[in-house]
Amino acid sequence: MKRKLTVMALVFAMLLAPVLSACNNGGGGKESGSKSNSAGKDGKQEITEFTAFLAVPGSEVNDDNEVKQIIAEKTGYKIKETWLTGQTETEAIGTMIAGDEYPDIIDGGVATKNLYEAGALVPLDDYIEKYPNIKNFLNEEQWDSLRQDDGKIYWIQQFGNIKGEDKTTTQTMGAFWIQARVLEWADYPEIVTLDQYFQLLEDYNKANPTMEDGTKNIPYTILCEGTKFFCLTGAPLELAGYPNEGSVYVDEETLKAVDYNTTDMTKRYYKKLNDGYKSGLVDPESFTQTYDEYIAKLSSGRVLGMHDQGWNFSNSVNAALTQAGLDKQGCDYIPIGLVFDEDIHNRWFTRQYTINTASGIGITKDCKDPDGVMKFMNDLLDQEIHDLRFWGVKGVDYDVNEKGEYFRTKEQRFESTNTSYRATHLCPYSWMPQYEGTSDDGINANKPSDQPGEFYDGLNDDIKRAFDAYGAKTYIDLLGVNEPAGPWYPLWTYSNAITTSTPGGIAFTKMDEVFHEYMPKVCIADDFEAMWDEFLKTYEECNPQDFLDEIQAILDKRIEDHKQYEN
């Protein structure tokens, strides 16, 4: 018995020992860290650290992150960011409000307005006037759109702002995607309509039912798991030639919000899927597969086409395809801007800065130095710091050629996505205000992924061949750039933040439940017409009109608000 106890004590000691010594080391590391601080401090001010909570899932960087340290030495400030884990944003923010204790800086996501209502945020107006980079970050109309009931601004929307020339190369939003091998087989035809797209998939699959190793092709698959449901339901809106407003489209002549879910166009889309399901074109597992299974299928190169948003799959799938050498078989995905009929103009991509007024970065009443925070945000928008955030350190993370163009070697590009390297070295402050578009030098893109040379070099050959055939240099060229939507765009900033406290919100939540159940049922129904009618009937019971009335009011208000800025 005694011996057992001794053994147990030893095991514990062994477990604890590295932990304890590690802590000692950690302490030692800290000391040396603060030494280098004081060394840099000699000529400069002391470094202040702010705390930030960002109610979104995000990538944490280490405290001794190198770029973070460089930025801190240049500006005198740094931020310790904490991200959302395992809770919804409303839940996390709700607890904070109840406890009445906040970090210095906060972005509450869809619950940002709750923070304002709880009196947790301080008005930023005076500071905005004081700091030119911030002042210039948004225009007058955009600033005004952020004003709350009391006429003051409490948060700054940080994303999507295009500076100078837009350099977007990649379709991160929705599109119908098709494998390069399908296009190559058909000798790069012009594909415009949904019917042509499915016809091509069918023809290709008939001629080539398997991949090189004998695996059966899956002509078309759909992801409809939980929150990724947009892969199924999002398409008809854009097929009909409207920009993605989320749940409605706006008739540009009458300026009325129209429910697209019940239109004949939408019915056509589901009929197409239903036919495809029956003929074996649509993957029978579409409606039950998980996100992991979906990614596995795409990564295996078996899937010829699907509708999805670029950010939802490209990164992991492209990497997996390339690693397995499947790009040699032409398995990479290429976006196509499909529409229902040839006379419809597609709106899959527009160059337009759309400000999401529902959320942004704010300063809380617990912050002792709001002026310092704003000064730091001003510095973060400074081109030199901005480059450090998104490109990294010159000579380490990127190099500059004789024309002044930034570029990265293969190794540098690889490191930039390495999880550990990002944690120890790179520090984009990714939830602070930032620019897309072009740098002040007029040459480089503000973000590496938009750098034209950078972009083209990284492409696989099957994509390059397709680009050449269609005379395109970027994915965007394939989709075409289209005219911006109206000043109300995008209405999803409203519907995403809607809550069940209003009849419209209740209707919206119920409608969503009905979609989740009935859209898959419609797709696999033996009797399409009967199921469609059942869907319409159930849908009507949710009182969609309540929701439409509310969104119409928002639409009217946005149009009205915009009038004063015309000319």
Beta bridge partners of 364: 121
Q: Is the dihedral of CA 467, 219, 187, 214 positive or negative?
A: positive
Angstrom distance (rounded) from CA 388 to CA 275 = 52
Of the candidates 295, 469, 472, 559, which one interacts with other proteins according to CB under 8 A?
295
198: nearest Cα among 317, 206, 308: 206
The least distance separating other proteins from the CB of residue 80, rounded to whole angstroms, comes to 8
Of the candidates 37, 48, 82, 545, which one interacts with other proteins according to CB under 8 A?
82
Of the candidates 87, 136, 279, 409, which one interacts with other proteins according to CB under 8 A?
87
The least distance separating other proteins from the CB of residue 473, rounded to whole angstroms, comes to 15
User: Segment 239-278, which members bind other proteins (CB under 8 A)?
Assistant: none
Total binding residues toward other proteins, as defined by CB under 8 A: 110
As a 3-state breakdown, the chain gives helix, strand, coil percent values, each rounded to 5, of 50, 15, 40
Of 5-13, 253-261, 375-383, 477-485, the segment contacting other proteins by CB under 8 A is 5-13
For the stretch 273-276, contacts whose Cβ atoms lie closer than 8 Å and that sit 24 or more positions apart, written own/partner, are 273/222, 273/523, 274/522, 274/523, 274/524, 274/525, 274/528, 276/198, 276/219, 276/220
Of the candidates 196, 449, 482, 545, which one interacts with other proteins according to CB under 8 A?
449
Of the candidates 2, 42, 99, 206, which one interacts with other proteins according to CB under 8 A?
99
Environment class of 226 (CB within 10 Å of its CB; exposed 0-12, middle 13-18, buried 19+): exposed
- Which of 197/287 has CB closer to other proteins? 287
Angstrom distance (rounded) from CA 456 to CA 463 = 10
Residues in the chain, total? 567
The three-class DSSP label of residue 179 is strand
Of 197-205, 251-259, 294-302, 347-355, the segment contacting other proteins by CB under 8 A is 294-302
User: Segment 352-411, which members bind other proteins (CB under 8 A)?
Assistant: 390
- Which of 202/225 has CB closer to other proteins? 225
The least distance separating other proteins from the CB of residue 128, rounded to whole angstroms, comes to 25
Q: Does 49 bind other proteins (CB under 8 A)?
A: no
- Which of 314/346 has CB closer to other proteins? 314
Q: Does 430 bind other proteins (CB under 8 A)?
A: yes
Of 150-158, 250-258, 311-319, 391-399, the segment contacting other proteins by CB under 8 A is 311-319
Angstrom distance (rounded) from CA 475 to CA 464 = 10
Q: Does 88 bind other proteins (CB under 8 A)?
A: yes
The three-class DSSP label of residue 310 is helix
Of 94-102, 263-271, 336-344, 554-562, the segment contacting other proteins by CB under 8 A is 94-102
Interface pattern 328-347 for other proteins (x via CB under 8 A): ----x---------------
Residue matched to tokens 């001010």: 45
Give the strand order in the sheet containing 77-83: 77-83, 48-54, 105-107, 361-363, 155-156
Q: Does 299 bind other proteins (CB under 8 A)?
A: yes
What is the largest distance, in Å, between two alpha-carbon atoms of the chain? Answer: 89
Q: Does 521 bind other proteins (CB under 8 A)?
A: yes
The three-class DSSP label of residue 68 is helix
The least distance separating other proteins from the CB of residue 86, rounded to whole angstroms, comes to 6
Of the candidates 36, 49, 101, 125, which one interacts with other proteins according to CB under 8 A?
101
Of the candidates 141, 195, 259, 285, which one interacts with other proteins according to CB under 8 A?
285
Of 135-143, 176-184, 306-314, 557-565, the segment contacting other proteins by CB under 8 A is 306-314
Angstrom distance (rounded) from CA 411 to CA 397 = 9
Of the candidates 13, 20, 255, 553, which one interacts with other proteins according to CB under 8 A?
20
User: Segment 183-222, which members bind other proteins (CB under 8 A)?
Assistant: none
Q: Does 45 bind other proteins (CB under 8 A)?
A: no
Q: Does 10 bind other proteins (CB under 8 A)?
A: no
Of the candidates 193, 509, 543, 545, which one interacts with other proteins according to CB under 8 A?
509
Contact 336, 180 (CB under 8 A): no
User: Segment 534-563, which members bind other proteins (CB under 8 A)?
Assistant: none
Beta bridge partners of 155: 362
Q: Does 27 bind other proteins (CB under 8 A)?
A: no
Distance of CA 303 to the CA centre of its chain: 23
Which ranges of 42-79 does DSSP label H, i.e. alpha helix?
66-75
Interface pattern 451-490 for other proteins (x via CB under 8 A): ----x--xxx------------------------------
What is the bridge-based pairing of β-strands 155-156 and 105-107? unpaired
Q: Does 95 bind other proteins (CB under 8 A)?
A: yes
Of the candidates 45, 254, 401, 501, which one interacts with other proteins according to CB under 8 A?
501
The least distance separating other proteins from the CB of residue 371, rounded to whole angstroms, comes to 21
Q: Does 132 bind other proteins (CB under 8 A)?
A: no
Of 31-39, 197-205, 261-269, 315-323, the segment contacting other proteins by CB under 8 A is 315-323
Of 122-130, 195-203, 421-429, 529-537, the segment contacting other proteins by CB under 8 A is 421-429
Spatial neighbors of 63 by CB under 8 A, at least 6 apart, are: 80
Of the candidates 118, 156, 178, 363, which one interacts with other proteins according to CB under 8 A?
118
Of 61-69, 123-131, 399-407, 550-558, the segment contacting other proteins by CB under 8 A is 61-69
- Report the Cα–Cα distance between both ends of the chain, in Å, rounded: 89
CB-based burial, 432-461: b 16+ in 10 Å, e otherwise: bbbbbbbbeeeebbbbbbbbeebbeebbbe
Structure tokens at 385: 């710091």
Q: Does 122 bind other proteins (CB under 8 A)?
A: no
Angstrom distance (rounded) from CA 260 to CA 238 = 10
